[in-house]
Structures are given as C-alpha cells and as structure tokens.
Amino acid sequence: MGLRPPCVIPRGLQTPRNRFRTALPGSKIIRMADSIKFRWLGTAGIELESNGERILIDPYLSRFPIQYNLFGRPVPNPGLVTRYLSPARAVLVSHAHFDHLADVPNVCREFGTVAYGSSNTCAILRAHDVPAEQVNPTRVGDAISLDPFEVRVFPGKHGRMAGLLPFAGKLPARLDPPLRLSDYRMDTIFSFHVRAAQTSCLIWNTPDTSAIPQADILFFCPLWGERIGAAVAEAAQVKVLVPVHWDDFFSSLDRPLHPMVVPPGWRSPWIRRMEPRAFARAVNTLLPEVRILIPEILKHNTM
C-alpha cells in the first residue's frame, strides 16, 4: 500500500553527476553508478543497494502471530529469506527484539552475510550457531566500511509501553533456539547513518536530535509523532522522509498490509491504529519542503 508510485530521484537529491547521467539521450539502459536503491521489507526492515551490493537493516519477514508474544517458541522461516531477499554483504541490527533480529540468523546462514549488533544481538546470533566470523559486536561511535557503504553507528532510544521498556535487560542464562519472543531482550539500541553513491540515509531510532548527522533520506517510525518526525527531518536537513515500522508485523506477508495498533500508553491512553498518511500530512504541514514517501512493501525505490 502506498500513496505514490515508486519514486524517481527527486530533483533536490540530484547531484550534478547523476543529473547528467539521468539526462543522457538515446540510452536504453542508463547505469547510474552513483544511484542508491532501497526496499522497505515491512516492520523496520530496509534493504539498501548500491553498485550491485546490498546491506540490510533489521530484516523481519517471519512476522509471527501475536499469540507467540506470550506463548510458544516460533521457528523463523528460512524460506521467506530466500523468497524475498537477495544476497547481502552485511546486516545491521538496531536492537535485539524479535521484530528486528529473529530472521537474521537465517540471513547469515543463507547468504554468508556478516551481522553487526549489540552484545545481546551477538549472543543471540551465536546461540543460533551463526559462525563467530559473521558476528560483529558493535558500539555507538563505530564506523563500518562495507564498500560501497560507509556506516556510522549512533545511539537510539526505544519507546516505552505503559511506561516500561518491553523485553529489555539481561538475556536468559540459557538460550536454546527456537527462542520465546521474550528471550529476544534488548540492551543497546542503535541508529545508523549509511552513505553510498553520494547519497546518505539515516535510520534514526530516537527523538534526540542533538548529535544528528546530515542525510538525504530519513527512515523514521511515525510512533514518535509528527512534531518529532518534523524536528528530526529538519535537524538532519533531509529531502525525503520514509515512514517505517508502522505496519502490523503480527500479520504474515501473504495477507494485506495494515497499520499496527499503537501500543497502549505510547502517546495516548486509547487504542488506535497508526496512520502513516495522517503522519505524512502533518509532517508536511510543519515542513512542506520535505517529501514524504510512504513505501510499498518489498518494492524497489531508486534515489
């Protein structure tokens, strides 16, 4: 679902170099060596592609039914990884919750992808027998070179539900996959700045703008609200804002996408679903110069 067709490179994002390349006459195929593509994978999942190389952020395709929140040990489905994803050289994990991490062991196994994440993330990957050389403990301030991607790691802040951080703290003494969803406990949460092909993307998981770097494209969760969304977009001087993590990730990929219910106590006391279009309109009222692109799930967007 989405309001717009897949975007072409917005005018404001065109550098003199890619502006020239897009304008080449008579070429049937114009390979823009400096283009960047992205796909939203549902939830907080993002695939970035540049020069034929890919990295993933928080891919989550298994979308376990909601009853597993309390009971059972769901098994991530490796078939979804091979069906919907392509080989990627790295996967960045913002934090260790299941909706960011549960499919990462299968991504690592299937594609030989190397993973970057917090101490809890790395422990969970090792518990799934991901080889040590594919598991990279990551800290705020790290700079990771994944040619052609240059990644910088920034702090994040997790939202609270009814005043509490969900599934947080020390991991259970025994991690015996398949895990309970409550075993995916977060410790640190990261934001990421990714530069490739003269375009920079910001996956900003906090309302804090004090150390925000400049970027062209911002991926942001509308749960923080339109005022914070606009403040983050303005502070980073972005040209495009892509709302993510607004869909109901308890609903499988073969069902129609619909927005998730706002966790109780997040921003208002009543139960309601998220409204990405209302978020887009409200941000645009505050910040008319920023383009809001509500992504279609799994669809390629060229920037």
Residues in contact with Zn ion by the rule CB under 5 A: 97
Q: Which is nearer to Zn ion, 228 or 293 (CB)?
A: 228
Closest separation in Å from C-beta 58 to Zn ion = 9
Helix (H, G, I), strand (E, B) or coil at 123: helix
Q: How far apart are the C-alpha atoms of 191 and 100, rounded to whole Å?
A: 13
CB 94 within 8 A of CB 59: no
Q: Which is nearer to Zn ion, 33 or 66 (CB)?
A: 66
Q: Which is nearer to Zn ion, 131 or 172 (CB)?
A: 172
Q: Which is nearer to Zn ion, 180 or 277 (CB)?
A: 180
Closest separation in Å from C-beta 91 to Zn ion = 16
Closest separation in Å from C-beta 192 to Zn ion = 15
SS3 track for 55-113: EEECCCCCCCCHHHHCCCCCCCCHHHHHHHCCCCCEEECCCCCHHHHCCHHHHHHHHCC
Q: Which is nearer to Zn ion, 182 or 285 (CB)?
A: 182
Helix (H, G, I), strand (E, B) or coil at 40: strand
Closest separation in Å from C-beta 41 to Zn ion = 16
Q: How far apart are the C-alpha atoms of 66 and 64, rounded to whole Å?
A: 6
Q: Which is nearer to Zn ion, 10 or 263 (CB)?
A: 263
- Does residue 178 have a cis peptide bond before it, meaning omega lies within 30 degrees of 0? yes
- 96, with CB counted inside 10 A (0-12, 13-18, 19+), is buried
The residue type at 157: K
Q: Which residue is nearest to Zn ion (CB)?
A: 97
Closest separation in Å from C-beta 158 to Zn ion = 6
Q: Which is nearer to Zn ion, 225 or 263 (CB)?
A: 263
Closest separation in Å from C-beta 44 to Zn ion = 8
Closest separation in Å from C-beta 181 to Zn ion = 11
At 247, list the tokens.
């869909």
Please, what's the b/e burial string for 258-285 (b: 16 or more CB within 10 A of its CB; e: otherwise)? Answer: ebbebeeebeeeeeeebebbebbebbbe
Closest separation in Å from C-beta 31 to Zn ion = 38
Enumerate residues 6+ apart whose C-beta is below 8 A from 64. 74, 98, 102, 181, 250
Q: How far apart are the C-alpha atoms of 2 and 257, rounded to whole Å?
A: 10
Q: Which is nearer to Zn ion, 97 or 291 (CB)?
A: 97
